[in-house]
Structure 1
Amino acid sequence: MGLLEKLTQKGNELTNEQKVAFVLLVFLGLGGLVMGYFSFGANIRRPFDIQIAERASEEPYLTLTQKEEKEKEDQKTRDTDSDGLSDYDELYVFRTSPYITDTDSDGIDDKTEVYAGQNPSCPEGKTCGTASGDASGASTAASDLVGSLSDSPFARDLSQYDFQSEEDIQAFVKSITVDEIRKALATAGVPQDQLDAIADDQLQTLFEQTLSTASESGELDALVGAMQAQAGASGSDGEIQQ
């Protein structure tokens, strides 16, 4: 005999309101049990779901070399100091600070100095010379680059040039095309990916700036004799071949 039947026996008859209340209580009890079951299962799964979500949002594992390469790629599209030069160019091309708009604090921003053929690491009106490690490195780079241009297979016939002064060398170097500069830099050992990251106008400006720095430091004086010797050797080779 059911509970409802026992309660409705003679002497224990329930009113309609009591019957409705009883049925409602039963449904609420069952609903609570069902909801408790699903809530319990969700609480058990929640820690695992959180871990799975965190792992899915994490960046893939990268080696130290891969992280460095990724950072360099990010620097090519990032301009921290908003001076118009990417962080990559400032760090690896122009040797300026990616965090300061005017690295040498002379009142002229780095980009303006670069495109004007000036040294953005040397205040305007001051001769930095070889006192700066960067200037010394730039002078060496100019020397190596001129040597690479002279020794490379695509070099012009140097016998047609009469190198007697720095001005002669500057005229010769400034007449070199951007393609020749790229090939010479590649011959000198500059990684191809770095060359590809530099625009033609930036490369030309950097090259002329490096040449100017080398001239200020006196590096070109030593190159005059070397270029004369190379021109003489080129002329001698031409006579022998004839």
Structure 2
Amino acid sequence: MPHTERTGIIVLACAGVLALIFGAWNLGHNIKKPFLLKPGQASQNTSSNNLFFELQSKDTDKDGLSDYDELYVYETSPYLEDSDSDGRLDGEEVSGGSDPNCPEGKECGTEIKTTAEAIGFDVPTSADT
């Protein structure tokens, strides 16, 4: 085999090996890329954690429930001490076992009556016919 052919084969083989190495590195990088933190992203996560801690220790409306509990547990307003306007503080209602979103004396959250018996119609049976 002449010297020029041998040199050409070696150069071609080296280029092929480099292409394989670069391709493998690029594939690995593209797989990891969506999961890498961008600059400043770690501080964003820390600030959102701080927000949750702040909400858990803060009671804006002074009703006995933390702002976190009002927003994420009971779904009441952290700015109104009596979310359902029945005269009792949200915290008192929760301690007493009642719904802070339902005024006292009113039945809330009941399902709509859909069966004939529930709405007062007589349902004919086979004995009636």
TM-score by length of 2: 0.50
Mark the structure with the bigger radius of gyration.
1
Q: For CA contacts below 8 A with separation 6 or more, give which structure has more relative contact order.
A: 1
